[in-house]
Amino acid sequence: MATTNNKADYYEILEVNRTVSDEELKKAYRKAAMRHHPDRNPGDKAAEEKFKELSEAYQVLSDPEKRAQYDRFGHAAFDQTRGGGGFSGGFEFSGNFEDVFSDLFGDIFGGGRGGGRQRTRRGDDLSYNIEISFEEAAFGTEKTISIPRSVTCDACQGKRTKAGTAPKTCTTCRGSGQVRFQQGFFTVARTCHQCGGQGSVISDPCDTCRGTGVGRKTANLQVKIPAGVDTGARLKLRGEGETPPAGGVPGDLYILMHVKEHPLFKRQDNTVICDIPISFPQAALGTEMEVPTLEGKIKLKIPAGTQPGNVFRLRGKGIVSLNTGGRGDQLVHVTVEIPRTLTARQRELLEEFSRLDGVDVNPMSKGFFEKVKELFG
């Protein structure tokens, strides 16, 4: 592809290859334009010139017809002496570039070239910490909470003015909500400092809200907490946050969960864990005992010869999964208790048991000492 007037290749300016997609081209332009924007580089002529190059390159390559001409003829496609009639060595804004410019810089520099378009105001989000029991987290619950927050003023219904009066058009921006000024080679629009972007000013403000359009009120909200939540989980109540001054969309309310510890149960994901102490005779002889679950006590058979640390699984006795709705299990960890003190009779019986004790009934001990003998002789 030939170039004229020693101008750099548009693809090289935007640092993209010639097969770049429209979306990738737009991303590349945004990134480079952000870096070289004159407002971010005040007084830097090199940055301003680079920004012009980027904008010119993007205007051509983002237009399918112009891009096709450029790919075929290079810069000559837009040289008026060749009949192109496009740039003639200069630069002009097109509708395509207008959209990108507004989209790219609207949030940063107070609105683009949108001609008075204003962003909808949004109120602040609120957060609320709530403490619930282990059982409430497992099965779900409903709670009533009280939230002090800003709401639309009852006296003026958010209009901000006294009864019988109305806002007046802002004389600074003439109702557009924006003021424009020259920055380098183009015009930038910013939010009007006089009216805050509203396009109007209040000369007779409401006595109750002093012209803000909002007041303070405590709201009582019924919150449904789903089964399966855990500490750190957040519930989002859309539109239950602060109402912004001068009208707009309320923010959201985030409820942060804190689950109390349980005296018997621990939680691991959707599994409930419970430690159960049993005596040495119960472990040796076996027994049937009642164990606690989230829904009450159930019978559990402990087989003879149960060892310390053995685990029994109670299926479906755990906690509901927030994602699947399925329910986890409960694990019963067995702990064999050794008595701290013995009566004379108990000691006598244990000594007799010790004399009668043999390796045949203690396979774990037998295996351990055999391995010690093999290793150390």
Which tens digits make up the pLDDT trace of 213-251?
888 889 999 999 999 999 999 999 999 998 887 667 899
CATH superfamily entry for domain 10-105 = DnaJ domain (1.10.287.110)
If you average pLDDT over every residue of the chain, what do you get?
A: 81
Domain ranges in the chain?
Answer: 10-105, 126-259, 265-376
Decide if pLDDT at 96 tops 80: no
Confidence of residue 316 (pLDDT cuts 50, 70, 90): very high
Instruction: Identify the pLDDT of residue 47.
Output: 84
Taking each helix axis from N to C end, the angle separating 22-36 and 45-61, rounded to the nearest 10 degrees, works out to 170
Contact 14, 28 (CB under 8 A): yes
CA distance 224 to 229: 11
Given the candidates 3.90.550.10, 3.40.50.10420, 1.10.3720.10, 2.60.260.20, the CATH classification of the domain at 265-376 is: 2.60.260.20
User: Which of the two residues, 111 and 159, has the higher pLDDT score?
Assistant: 159
- Written as one letter, the residue type at 274 is C
- Residue 124 · residue 251 · CB < 8 Å: yes
**Looking at domain 126-259, what is its CATH homologous superfamily?**
Heat shock protein DnaJ, cysteine-rich domain (2.10.230.10)
- The pTM of the full predicted model, rounded to 2 decimals, is 0.55
Residue 78 predicted with pLDDT over 80: no
